[in-house]
A = this chain, B = another copy of it.
Amino acid sequence: MSDSRQTAKTTSSGRGQVSGSGPGDNGLDAIYRSISEAIIEHRLKPGARLREDALADVFGVSRTGIRKVLQRLALEQLVTLTPRRGASVTRPSVDEARDVFEARLLVECAMMDAAAKRITEEDIQELQEMAKQEREALRNREQRIAIKLSAIFHARLAEISGNRTLAGFVGQLASRSSLILAVYGNAGHLGCESHDHDNLIDFLAAGDGAKASDFMERHLKSIEASLSIFEEPEETPDLWDIFAVDA
């Protein structure tokens, strides 16, 4: 209605550009990454509603494409699709949070052995570069960037092990972990300590999968332990949130 023309061509705010009629779902993929990144970086917080019209307007496409992206995000559990209510950023439940970290503990630790065997010099350098960026982001108080980089780091680590199926699964778990951090994390205490990732790289570079696995276990457990996972009263949650938020 209000979209006179597709003004998303040269928007200054958004960086993911959709060049009008992109062949295939190329343009849609950019939108997907854009929204996904926004969720992982906590620019879109759990519970935030995602109206199709608004997104269509922002990205300069019709609702059809937005629906496609939203469904993909819903299948990855990043957004929740309520039948006649629309889409919103998923607010992970306590059980969900526990399940995700349990799954990460199981899968990521077990993958360290293969990763230690298959890791190459290039991989090591790439991971070190990522860890460095993450440290810098932390130093600059850019927690959003740091969280995103941490998720990418874990996903990349999983890729090195050589199993694409498991790597994709870990990637999803890492993304969901970011949501869990947004809900149950304490401000000022980020999930991953940057030194942890550096240590992890060292163990892998030394080819010691067992130590890497042990360290990964402690790493993930420390993240989970830093969370405040408890059921909130849920009676009048919105009111409490409203008065407690604004941080």
Which of A160-168, A227-235, A236-244 lies at the binding interface? A160-168
The residue on B at minimum CB distance from A166 is B103
Shortest Cβ distance from A99 into chain B, in angstroms?
Answer: 4
Please name 22 pairs of A and B residues whose Cβ atoms are closer than 8 Å in the assembled complex, sorted by A: A24-B83, A24-B84, A68-B71, A71-B71, A71-B72, A75-B75, A75-B76, A95-B164, A99-B163, A99-B164, A99-B165, A99-B166, A102-B163, A102-B166, A103-B165, A103-B166, A103-B169, A106-B106, A106-B110, A110-B110, A165-B173, A169-B169
Complex interface bits, A79-123 against B, C-beta within 8 A gives 1, otherwise 0: 000011000000000011001101100110010000000000000
Complex interface bits, A138-173 against B, C-beta within 8 A gives 1, otherwise 0: 000000000000000000000000011110010001
Interface footprint category on A = 20 to 34
Query: How many angstroms between the C-alpha atoms of A83 and B96 in the bound complex?
Result: 34
Chain A, interface SS category: helix
Query: How many angstroms between the C-alpha atoms of A23 and B84 in the bound complex?
Result: 8
- Interface residue? A126 (CB, 8 A): no
Shortest Cβ distance from A11 into chain B, in angstroms?
Answer: 26
- Interface residue? A129 (CB, 8 A): no
Query: How many angstroms between the C-alpha atoms of A71 and B71 in the bound complex?
Result: 9
